[in-house]
């Protein structure tokens, strides 16, 4: 009998794809129930101060408007000021909507109008009269940079380690080196802007029980938040989020529409939907503007001798949001003398929030642009310079990598791109009236694994059902988990169902950081293994069992049957095992935890190399990324199709970050001025040309049981510096502020 095809490694299309493209998939704002009320948020128009007068009378007099909530009439709450009230909370005191009359940042929610329709609620918001007493504020990072301080240490430091300690004698080594490069880099504020707006539908079930449809990257995190804030029992709060229309980190923390929807539903004892409009999507979380200063030196053979990297980021006055910005250079390049510094400036803004490859895309821009400049200084090809400084070890921690195929990323990427056709001198390549530039850069991102749990159930009809609370934010989680489960039990993909996005299901952490497949996938694998063991145990006890004298290593699971490995004519079907179990389903539940003893001796990371070609119009300064290749080493690739989509998406965002994306702030008003998708520029189809992805073969038996590393972030980190380096090669101009606009090239 021919063995069935393995699912892991197959380019399977997304299982939920048809539901999404036909509009059948229900998102958090799509749930209609009888008597549903609609909430519209009122936001502050000042940046800092106090509310001195609030008059809701005109709004409440309108028929159909049910209530207007402000700090003056909100219910008393069981506020939790603890880190674990939110899995992703940084050190400090979390923002609490409608707490009092204080205004902490521009756009802060100060009221909620609840009405019988969305349009009526929105109209009611215009009738609420608000007077404020303004106070002096500061939102300009550059102006306040001299006030930078070290970040406070909190629980988040576990996943966001502080910079490594200084090594050697940086100043002496730098000054004595023949090749020195120093530069300052800056990128402005960015906002996530997923296609789906933030919405929460809270269904009031009675007796304090709630079913909440929330746009979130962690159903259990939202459950934890709601239960703690409102003093409810965990079992009485159910959060469901099967479909998420993009998030990119914006839904890692519970956002204020969740709080306001739940508060209104509990107080009014009715179901309430609160949806934020596009402008309100700019009133929480962002990639923080960051100032970076680098000083790298090398000998004339290209060996890096000293590295100094300072980053100054923005945070709110109530929390210390941190990113891993400066750690990456020493993880890649083994300089003997290093000085890495990371500092924060408190400003009158909302706390920044993780945004795809947080810190990594920021830091790698400065690191890889500085390395490029060092290559020109030493007259060494940029790719060759990186190979000269290649290391199999993470010298920042004095540990080997669990696996590192970055060298193959360089070589395979360069060959497919045609890097050898690059003329070394800037402004030496042309195509008509366009200057042509080639640029490359290295990418690195951590490969983490967190604890998670999964149920695996063989149903009475012989199908496999696997349960997890994890969300799928559009990355293909549903599909790859189904593939992992199918292979573990030797079943066809159509006989496996993965149920997810529900806080009632087994524990899963927030989805982010490129750790979901390694985390939840490992839980699915161990649950599947436990179910196999249980099925085999029942099969051994069946009457006249062909396995009575066999052990688990002597059988194989294929085509929903168990076969004796030495004699494939002897087998038993899963349906026969169910029958032997009295016709009852067979269930196991298993927790997966990282193998810390095995992993602690190694550093674990995903690596990439990006190669980019740009054309720059010599008269107009317009930049076009004509083609780009990213070669990625990410362990075993569960699904090449969904993984490729992740890398392509990251590459497109890299183009956006380098050339388009920026939230402009008027520092006199403390307000973001382009709070819409007309003026917040992102690439359109005409901006994107030839993109290619290479997955380099990489075997890793240490990182986790599946041998996988995440691909969500690694596609982005190397693209902005590769583009900036290509622009320098094309024009001879080094632009260190992102995004790079045409006016700086004229």
pLDDT over 70 at 157, yes or no: no
Model pLDDT for residues 438-457, shown as the tens digit of each residue: 999 999 999 999 999 999 99
Which pLDDT tens digit goes with each residue over 345-377? Answer: 999 999 999 999 999 999 999 999 999 999 999
pLDDT by residue (tens digit) across 303-317? 999 999 999 999 999
Average pLDDT in the 636-652 region? 98
Q: Output the 3-class SS for 274-302.
A: EECCCHHHHCCCCECCEEEEEEEEECCCC
pLDDT at 665: 97
Q: Which residues contact 528 (CB under 8 A, 6 or more apart)?
A: 456, 466, 484, 485, 488, 489
List Cβ neighbours of 364 (8 Å cut-off, separation of 6 or more).
328, 441, 442, 443, 444, 717, 718, 720, 721
Which tokens go with 374?
A: 């060092």
Query: Is residue 475 domain-shared with residue 511, that is, in the same domain?
Result: yes
Answer with the one of 248, 277, 306 that is the final residue of a domain: 277
Q: Based on the domain organization, do 479 and 541 belong to the same domain?
A: yes
Both tokens of 70, joined, read: 């402000």
Looking at the structure, do residues 564 and 471 belong to the same domain, yes or no? yes
Residue 737 pLDDT grade (very low, low, confident, very high; cuts 50, 70, 90): very high
The answer to whether the beta carbons of residues 422 and 384 sit under 8 Å apart is: no
pLDDT at 138: 98
- Domain membership of residue 28 (yes or no) is no
Pick the last residue of a domain from 225, 250, 277: 277
Give burial (CB, 10 Å; 0-12/13-18/19+) of 162.
middle
Q: What 3-state class would DSSP assign to 18?
A: helix
Q: How confident is the model at residue 1 (pLDDT cuts 50, 70, 90)?
A: very low
For residue 112, pLDDT over 50 is answered with yes
The token duo for 234 is 């965990």
**Does residue 159 sit in the same domain as residue 107?**
no
Q: Are residues 391 and 522 in the same domain?
A: no
87, pLDDT greater than 90:
no
Answer yes or no: do 218 and 90 share one domain: yes
Q: Which residues contact 142 (CB under 8 A, 6 or more apart)?
A: 186, 291
Angle (CA) 214-220-224 rounded to 5° is: 95
Residue 155: which pLDDT band, with cuts at 50, 70 and 90?
A: low
Do 388 and 489 share a domain, yes or no? no
For residue 2, the model assigns a pLDDT of 47
Strands 102-103 and 209-214: unpaired
The confidence band for 596, taking pLDDT boundaries of 50, 70 and 90, is confident
Residue-wise pLDDT for 15-40, tens only, equals 999 999 999 999 999 999 999 999 99
> In CATH, what number is assigned to the domain containing residue 559?
3.30.365.10
Q: Who contacts 491 (Cβ-Cβ below 8 Å, separation ≥6)?
A: 464, 485, 559, 560
User: What is the distance in angstroms between the CA of the first residue and the CA of the last residue of the chain?
Assistant: 69
What's the average model confidence in pLDDT over 683-706?
A: 96
Same domain for 291 and 440? yes
Secondary structure of residue 35 in the 3-state scheme:
coil
* Per-residue pLDDT at 160 exceeds 90: no
The token pair at 731 is: 């024009």
In a domain, 545, yes or no: yes
Is a pLDDT exceeding 90 seen at residue 702?
yes
Which range of residues forms the domain containing residue 350? 144-190+286-448+600-745
Q: Which tens digits make up the pLDDT trace of 197-226?
A: 999 999 999 988 999 999 999 999 999 999
Sign of CA dihedral 49, 51, 53, 59: positive
Task: Convert the pLDDT of each residue in 464-516 to its tens digit.
Answer: 999 999 999 999 999 999 999 999 999 999 999 999 999 999 999 999 999 99
pLDDT of residue 153: 77
Structure tokens at 134: 């303004």
**Contact of 342 with 322, CB cutoff 8 Å:** yes
What does the mean pLDDT of the chain come to? 96
Number of structural domains, the chain?
Answer: 3
Buried b vs exposed e over 225-249: b needs ≥16 C-beta within 10 Å? bbbbbbebeeebbbbbbbbbbebbb
Domain final residue, candidates 254, 277, 300 = 277
Shared domain check, 457 and 444? no
Q: If residue 638 lies in a helix (H) or strand (E), which one and from where to where?
A: none
pLDDT tens column, 651-675: 999 999 999 999 999 999 999 999 9
Looking at the predicted structure, is the pLDDT value of residue 79 above 70? no
Of the chain, the percentage scoring pLDDT greater than 90 comes to 94
What is the model's pLDDT at position 542?
94
How high is the pLDDT of residue 81? 53
């Amino acid at each position: 009998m021919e063995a069935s095809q393995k699912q892991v490694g197959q380019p399977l299309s997304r299982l939920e794809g048809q539901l999404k493209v036909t509009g059948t998939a229900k998102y958090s704002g799509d749930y209609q129930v009888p008597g549903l009320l609609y909430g519209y948020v009122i936001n502050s128009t000042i940046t800092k101060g106090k509310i001195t007068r609030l008059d809701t009378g005109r709004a409440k007099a309108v028929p159909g408007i049910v209530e207007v909530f402000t700090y003056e009439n909100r219910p008393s709450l069981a506020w939790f000021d603890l880190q674990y009230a939110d899995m992703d909370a940084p050190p400090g005191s979390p923002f609490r909507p409608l707490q009092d009359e204080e205004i902490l940042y521009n756009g802060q929610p100060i009221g909620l109008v609840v009405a019988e329709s969305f349009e009526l609620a929105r109209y009611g918001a215009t009738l609420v009269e608000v007077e404020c007493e303004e106070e002096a504020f500061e939102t300009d990072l550059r102006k306040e940079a001299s006030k930078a301080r070290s970040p406070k240490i909190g629980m988040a430091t576990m996943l966001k380690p502080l910079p490594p300690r200084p090594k050697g004698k940086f100043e002496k080594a730098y000054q004595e080196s023949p090749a020195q490069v120093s530069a300052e880099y800056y990128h402005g504020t960015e906002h996530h802007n997923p296609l789906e707006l933030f919405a929460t539908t809270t269904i009031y079930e009675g007796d304090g029980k709630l079913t909440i449809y929330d746009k979130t990257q962690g159903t259990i995190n939202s459950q934890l938040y709601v239960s703690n804030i409102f003093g409810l029992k965990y079992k009485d709060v159910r959060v469901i989020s099967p479909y998420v229309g993009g998030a990119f980190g914006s839904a890692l923390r519970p956002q204020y529409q969740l709080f306001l929807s739940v508060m209104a539903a509990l107080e009014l004892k009715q179901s309430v939907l609160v949806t934020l409009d596009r402008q309100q999507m700019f009133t929480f979380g962002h990639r923080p503007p960051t100032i970076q200063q680098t000083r790298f030196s090398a000998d004339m053979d290209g060996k890096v001798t000293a590295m100094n990297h300072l980053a100054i980021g923005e945070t709110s006055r109530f929390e210390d949001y941190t990113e891993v910005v400066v750690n990456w250079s020493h993880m890649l390049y083994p300089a003997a003398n290093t000085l890495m510094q990371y500092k924060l400036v408190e400003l009158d803004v909302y706390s920044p929030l993780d945004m795809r490859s947080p810190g990594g895309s920021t830091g790698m821009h400065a690191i890889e642009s500085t390395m490029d400049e060092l290559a020109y200084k030493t007259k060494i090809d940029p790719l060759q310079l990186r190979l000269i400084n290649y290391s199999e070890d993470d010298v920042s921690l004095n540990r080997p990598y669990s696996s590192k195929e970055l060298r193959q990323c360089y070589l395979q990427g360069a060959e497919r791109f045609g890097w050898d056709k690059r003329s070394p001198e800037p402004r030496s390549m042309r195509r008509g009236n366009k200057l042509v530039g080639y640029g490359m850069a290295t990418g690195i991102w951590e490969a983490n694994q967190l604890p998670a749990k999964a149920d695996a159930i063989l149903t009475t009809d012989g199908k496999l059902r696997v349960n997890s609370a994890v969300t799928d934010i559009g990355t293909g989680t549903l599909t790859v988990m189904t593939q992992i489960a199918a292979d573990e039990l030797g079943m066809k993909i159509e006989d496996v169902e993965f149920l997810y996005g529900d806080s009632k299901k087994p524990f899963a952490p927030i989805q982010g950081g490129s750790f979901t497949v390694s985390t939840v996938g490992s839980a699915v694998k161990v649950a599947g293994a436990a179910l196999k063991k249980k099925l085999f145990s029942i099969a051994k006890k069946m009457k006249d069992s062909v396995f009575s004298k066999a052990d688990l290593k002597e059988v194989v699971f294929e085509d929903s049957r168990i076969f004796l490995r030495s004699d494939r004519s002897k087998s038993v079907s899963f349906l026969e095992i169910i029958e032997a179990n009295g016709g009852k389903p067979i269930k196991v539940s298993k927790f997966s935890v990282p193998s810390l003893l095995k992993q602690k001796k190694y550093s674990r990371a995903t690596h990439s190399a990006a190669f980019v070609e740009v054309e720059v119009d010599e008269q107009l300064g317009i930049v076009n990324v004509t083609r780009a290749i990213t070669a990625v080493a990410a362990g075993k690739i569960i699904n090449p199709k969904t993984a490729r989509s992740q890398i392509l998406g990251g590459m497109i965002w890299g183009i956006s970050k380098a050339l388009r994306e920026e939230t402009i702030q008027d520092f006199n008003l403390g307000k973001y001025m382009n709070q819409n998708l007309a003026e917040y520029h992102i690439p359109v189809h005409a901006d994107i040309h030839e993109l290619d992805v290479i997955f380099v073969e990489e075997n890793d038996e240490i990182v986790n049981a599946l041998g996988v590393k995440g691909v969500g972030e690694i596609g982005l980190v190397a693209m902005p510096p590769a583009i900036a380096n290509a622009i320098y090669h094309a024009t001879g101009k080094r632009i260190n502020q992102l995004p790079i606009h045409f006016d700086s090239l004229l």
